[in-house]
Amino acid sequence: MQNDIQEVLISEEELSTKIKELGAQLSREYEGKNPLVICVLKGAFIFMADLVKTITVPLEIDFMAVSSYGASTKSSGVVKIVKDLDVSVEGRDVLIVEDIIDSGLTLSYLIELLQNRNAKSTKVVTLFDKPTGRTVDLKADYTGFTIPDAFIVGYGLDYAEHYRNLPYIGILKPEVYSN
Ligand code: 5GP
Ligand code: MG
Ligand code: MG
């Protein structure tokens, strides 16, 4: 698995430092509130786990799984809910935890869905942002790292369901895709 990695883009230590910063910011943002923190599966599962440990306000968590139809490295914009939330978002301060925003299609669909379900507020924290990939007008409220338009894996993010367990963010060797 490590042999498939061309380059380590972001180390474990850099990830951990950044997540602590985000947690401190979010703790201030949600002071006196009881946010519902929603993990968008599967990619955000490790980020979610590390992030909530750094947030100091009372909160609740829930999970949602979505998949976009189409090719494996690009979003098609057609989003399917694979697993819906267990709890209602009505009147809740909702924080969506995403792994990465590329085109923005997945997230714009999710935000609209949660607003239609009458969430009180809907904010987004994403660990990674690829602004050059954007096809809809969308900005996260909190962003960990802005990265170039390359396909990254590790720390929850997959290629063909593999590499999620790498503790760092890497770029795959080109030959991995052609196998
Ligand atoms: P969007 O709808 O913003 O184009 O894509 C969002 C989803 O596409 C992410 O949640 C993730 O599942 C996948 N994705 C986009 N860019 C990357 C990337 O560089 N690496 C990986 N592993 N997944 C990505
Ligand atoms: Mg995602
Ligand atoms: Mg994926």
CATH number of the domain within which 39 lies: 3.40.50.2020
- Residue found by looking up tokens 């935000």 in the block: 111
Best residue among 10, 96, 97, 102 to mutate for probing ligand 1, ranked by most atoms within 8 Å of CB: 102
Q: How far apart (Å, rounded) are the C-alpha atoms in residues 146 and 122?
A: 21
Task: Please check whether residue 163 lies inside any domain of the structure.
Answer: no
The SS3 assignment for 165 reads: coil
Q: How confident is the model at residue 96 (pLDDT cuts 50, 70, 90)?
A: very high
Interval 75-95 mean pLDDT: 90
The predicted complex's ipTM stands at: 0.95
Q: Residue 66 belongs to what domain range?
A: 12-153
Whether residue 34 is predicted with pLDDT greater than 70 in this model: the reply is: yes
Task: Please check whether residue 130 lies inside any domain of the structure.
Answer: yes
Task: Please check whether residue 164 lies inside any domain of the structure.
Answer: no
Q: How far apart (Å, rounded) are the C-alpha atoms in residues 119 and 165?
A: 33
pLDDT at 76: 63
Total domain count for the chain? 1
Q: Is 122 in the pocket of ligand 1 (CB under 6 A)?
A: no
Best residue among 78, 82, 100, 109 to mutate for probing ligand 1, ranked by most atoms within 8 Å of CB: 100
CA distances 123 to 96, 132, 148, 155, Å, are 6, 21, 23, 22
